[in-house]
Every structure is written in structure tokens, then in C-alpha cells.
Chains A and B, each alone.
Chain A
Amino acid sequence: MSVISATDAVKIYESGDKTLRALDGVSVDVNAGEFASVVGPSGSGKSTLLNLLGLLDEPSEGSVTVDGTALSTLSKRERTDLRRETVGFIFQSFYLVPTLTARQNVAVPGLVRDDRSDLQARADELLERVGLGDRLDHYPNELSGGQKQRVAVARSLINDPDILLADEPTGNLDQDTGAQVLDVFGEITDEGVAILTVTHDEQVTDFADRTIRLVDGRLDDD
């Protein structure tokens, strides 16, 4: 069953009198529990695709569908709500709040929920799951890169998303810490959460169920 899909998605950037087709008719389907990686040369449109699937941006042409709902039918507000409920994000440079402890960072996305009763317990449990049960009250500057990224993974899971979108999650990590993050990814997909990750890291593509190749904004299928 597909969680998120893009159909014939085109993204056109206009800067000055130049127009650039960053995506030129891309169709992607991400199914529950699958781990897909996106690869391609720099500038091929990987991040652009991720932004569309993550409901952060709209396609110029074509459509994006989440759980059977076409994105174009939703207001900005509804889109933000849908994003909170279905998508989790992981970034290359973590983007943790430096003055918050690990458990507080994990809880941040939950602060806008109406029901916050189990927020803290849930944050602790997620940190436990990514192997940081003994680092709950550490601040980001007291954590290694791999640990920071695992905090970010825990944060992306706090609102029970159906899919995690990651842009170069291991880009700032060495082989070993990258492997730790991948282990966590493996566990997450086992629970039915889909993961789509942009990467240059072969370790990641080897681990992935499926690899999507982009060249010049088009799928390169061979």
C-alpha cells in the first residue's frame, strides 16, 4: 500500500528570466515499511523531490497524494496538519535546539499537539529505542554526531509518522556511526514506517530495499 506518491511531478524554478526544470515528470510510490534510497548527481533534483513528498513544497505540474488524498485539495493549514501526522524529517545537519536536552528536543514537535499527556514518556521511550536511554538529559553539545542524528531520528518519530524523509542522514557521520543510524532505520521499517532517504553513501544504498536514481530531474531506470 502506498503511503505517499508523486505522479508526473514537475518542479520549475524561475529565477530572473531563466526557468529551470528541477524535476521533469517524476513518478514515485513509497509503500508502508519499505526503505527506499534516492541517488543521483548533485543538482539532479533529489532534495526537490523530497520536499514535494514531504509536503513542504508544491509541484508545478503533476500531483502528490498522501493516503489517497491529493495535496492540491488541501489548504496550507490542512497540509501542515497532515505533514505533522504523516511525515517525519531528518536532516544532514541535525538541527537540534542547542539549549534543549535530548528528551526536550525529541518532544518539541509534540508541543503543538492537543494531547500532550504522554509526551515525555513517549520521548524517553523513543530515545531508549534509538539506543540513547542513558543520554536523556544530555545537551546536543554533549553528544557525538551519531548520537545527535539518533536524537533527530527519535524526534522525527514523536508524532507517529507513516514515513520518514531523510536528506543525507549519514552525510556528516563516519562509517561506524552511520551504521548505527542505519540499524535504527532497519528497526523502524520493521514496524511499518516507510523511509525515503537521499544519499551519496553506498552503505545506505546497500541497505535499502530499493534505489531510485535521478538524473537531470528524470528517473533513470536501468
Chain B
Amino acid sequence: MIDSPLARFSPFLAFARNNLSRARARTILAMAGITIGVVAIASLGMFGATLEQSFLDTSDDAIRTVAVGPGEDSEFGLLHREQVAEIERYAGNGDVYTLTRGRGEVTGLQETTSASLVSLSDPEVFVTAESGQIPQNWRSGVAIGNELAETLGVQPGDSVQVDGESRRVVAVLAESSRASFVSTGDAVVLPPGEFGDGASQVLIRGETPQQAFAISDRIDENLNSDRRTRYSVFDAESALEQFNQQIGLIRTFLLAVGGISLLVASVSILNVMLMSTIERKEEIGVLRAVGYHRLDIVKLMLYEAALLGVVGSIFGVLISVGLGMVMNAQLLSDPLAFSGQALQYTVLGFLFGTGASFLSGLYPAWKAANARPVEALRD
């Protein structure tokens, strides 16, 4: 303790460490309390951040898409060239696509069913083939959503009847994720411009969600008036806001849970430190008698509390990072995909852990320092 490297750096730190080694089980339990608190704060916070990240990742495309269709006061039922041009004028540098929807009878090898028919100006932007292939310059044949393909029992190369007309299946589509915006699970996708005499919707995709929201505002302002809703304009702004609100709520809740467990941990540190000051009453009295100032005693006790906190928190951070890697692997399919925010929570957990421990050390330290040596040493 007087000759170790730690002691040369700070003899008090070495002394504090030695004091903690006296009631080893108690010290470890107190540290475990802090560790649990830190894990709670850090990993629950990270969980919120990872959840948000995973949502944004998977719905990224949907969030930056604006859908425009005929409004309740429109003088048109479908969007024709004229309307598309009108919308395009306000689309800025967003990409503009058209979507036509309908319903029809589809007959496969085994069954006949009613399905939705979809035609997209640029199918490759919204759908991906699971098997088969959508040709570059698609003119004939149909692509079929995976659920429908299963119902009908068809594969690429087979034929289906769509509204009585025989069509070759060129592709079965992969399950549509939220990101694709157009759900095609039970749909027949027809080549561009294949059916209908106008589009049901114009889809505009911005580079960022904010850009998309701006486009949608612009279209609404310029093409609709207070009295007439010629176009219905839909974007993800309110959904995103709602999501942000919910994730905020979830995060606050998780942090509160973490905070409470840390509070419990600090109470246990307080308890351990108080017990230790009572047990070491005479010894502290001797230290005062041989010339330790009250501040020296405070320092010694706070070093002990801080050591408990720092070591407990380091373990907590290590465990949290491990848990974070598991979460990342599950939700973001990359164990190392820590967002800056997720890492902030580990730092936050560490600071809270050490801080809480330090604060709980204050009262016992003050109490120990103020015990009169004469009283402590009366046998």
C-alpha cells in the first residue's frame, strides 16, 4: 500500500482500495448493484435507440415518399397526363412515379381468386423479384406477389388467367417490406401502362424525409385551395411525428426504469458505506488522532465510494455493450452497428453509475469525518 505503483500515484486511493477488500462479499454486492443500474440505463437506452434505428432503416423509403391521388373535390376520378404534369411541376427534384390499381379475377393452376392488380411506371423501384426476373423493357407477362403465388400454386414460367386473358408469370415478388411503400403480397403486377386509362396515384420520392414533406406541402398549397381539395396528398410526416413521440415515451420509460434501479443501487452503497463507518469507528478515530484532517477522512471515504462506482460502472458498460451487440445483431443485422446515440447511453450509464455512487458516499463520509476522535476511542 505504500510501495505499490498505485500507492505512489495516490496513497489514498491504495488505502481506499485496501479498505474495500476487507468485506469482500459486501463490496462485490454493492458493486453488482451499480453494475445492474448501469446496465439498466445503458442497455435500455440503447434498446430504444436501436429500435428507432431499425424502424428508420426498414421504412426509410416509405418515409420519403409522398402519395398524391384525386381529392374529394376533384373533377377527375383518375390522374391523367394533365394532372400528372400538374403535380410534377411542384415535385422539385423528387422522382415521380405513377401507380394504377384495380381488381380482377386471377386463375392459376389450382384456384381462382380475386386479387388486386397493380401497374407501376417503374416497377423496379418498388418491387423485387424473389424468383424469376422482371425484364428491362417489360411489355408482357405478369409478376405475382408471393402470397398470391402460393395460393395459386404458380411459379415463374407458368401461366395464369387475368380477367380471362392468359398471361405468363415472369417473376414471383419478394415479400414487400414496409420500406417498399406499395404492398404487393396478394397482387398481380402488370407491365407499365398496361391497364386503366389513368393513374390512381402519383408517388413522389424525395432524397430525405424532410424534402418529401416539403414537396407534399408545396403540392397541397399550390393545387388545393381552402375550399377545394382537388388532390389528396399523403406523406409520412404525421406518422413519423407520432413514431418519434412514441419512441420518446418508450425511451423515457426505459430511462426511468434504469434510474430507479440505480437509485436502489445507491441506497445499497449508502448502506454499505454507513456500515463500514460504524465498523471502523475506532480506526477512523485513530486516523484523526494521528493527524488526519476531517477532509482527509472525507477524501478516503469518497475514494472508496467512487471506486465502488467506477468498477461497478465499468462492468456495467462492458455488459451493456455486449447486450447492445446482441440487439444490433437482431434488429440491425450487424453487431457493431452502434449509433452515436446508443453509445451516448453507455456514457450516460457510466456517469450516472459513478455519480450515484459518489453521491451516496457523501453522507457516510461526512458522518465519519465529523465523529469526534475522543468519542470513537473511548473503550
Contact = CB atoms under 8 A, between A and B. Distances in A.
Interface of A: 47, 51, 54, 56-57, 77, 80-81, 83-85, 88-89, 91-93, 95, 97-101, 103-104, 107-109, 111-112, 116, 119-120, 123, 155-156, 159
Given A99-B21, A99-B22, 16 more contacts: A57-B374, A80-B291, A80-B293, A83-B291, A89-B286, A95-B286, A97-B18, A98-B22, A99-B18, A100-B1, A107-B1, A108-B15, A112-B293, A120-B3, A159-B290, A159-B291
Given A56-B373, A84-B290, A91-B286, A104 B379 contact: no
Most chain B beta carbons < 10 A, residue from A47, A84, A100, A112: A112
B286 A107 contact: no
Contacts of A155: 290
Interface in B267-309: 282-283, 285-293, 296
A108 B373 contact: no
A99 B296 CA distance: 19
Interface in B2-43: 2-3, 11-12, 15, 18-19, 21-22
Contacts of A88: 290
B19 A77 contact: no
Given A56-B373, A119-B2, A120-B3, A112 B21 contact: no
Contacts of B18: 97, 99-100, 104
Contacts of B285: 95
Contacts of B287: 108-109
Interface in B38-79: none
4 shortest A-B CB distances, which residue pairs? Answer: A84-B291, A109-B290, A107-B2, A104-B1
B322 to A, nearest CB: 33
A112 B291 contact: yes
B249 interface: no
A91 B377 contact: yes
Interface of B: 1-3, 11-12, 15, 18-19, 21-22, 282-283, 285-293, 296, 373-374, 377-379
A62 B292 CA distance: 26
B291 A81 contact: yes
B164 to A, nearest CB: 92
Contacts of B286: 89, 91, 95
B291 A108 contact: no
Most chain A beta carbons < 10 A, residue from B282, B373, B377: B377
A182 B293 CA distance: 31
Contact of A111 (B11, B288, B373, B374): B11
A92 B286 CA distance: 12
A112 B292 contact: yes
B292 A95 contact: no
Given A95-B282, A119-B2, A123-B2, A108 B290 contact: yes
A85 B379 CA distance: 25
Nearest to A110: B2
A77 B293 contact: yes
Nearest to B290: A109
Contact of A104 (B2, B373, B374): B2
Contacts of B2: 103-104, 107, 111, 116, 119-120, 123
Contacts of B379: 91-93
9 contacts: A51-B374, A56-B374, A84-B290, A89-B290, A91-B377, A91-B379, A99-B21, A100-B18, A155-B290
Given A89-B286, A111-B12, A120-B2, A99 B19 contact: yes
Contacts of A81: 291
Nearest to A109: B290
A85 B3 CA distance: 23
Contacts of B292: 80, 109, 112
B32 to A, nearest CB: 21
A112 B283 contact: no
Nearest to B8: A116
A88 B289 CA distance: 8
Given A84-B291, A104-B1, A107-B2, A116 B283 contact: no
Most chain B beta carbons < 10 A, residue from A57, A89, A111, A123: A111
Contacts of A56: 289, 373-374, 377
A119 B15 CA distance: 15
A123 B288 CA distance: 19
Most chain B beta carbons < 10 A, residue from A57, A92, A95, A103: A95
Nearest to B293: A80
Contacts of B15: 108, 111
A112 B22 contact: no
Contacts of B22: 98-99
Given A47-B378, A56-B289, A89-B290, A112 B296 contact: yes
B281 to A, nearest CB: 10
Nearest to A51: B374
A54 B291 contact: no
A62 B296 CA distance: 30
Contacts of A99: 18-19, 21-22
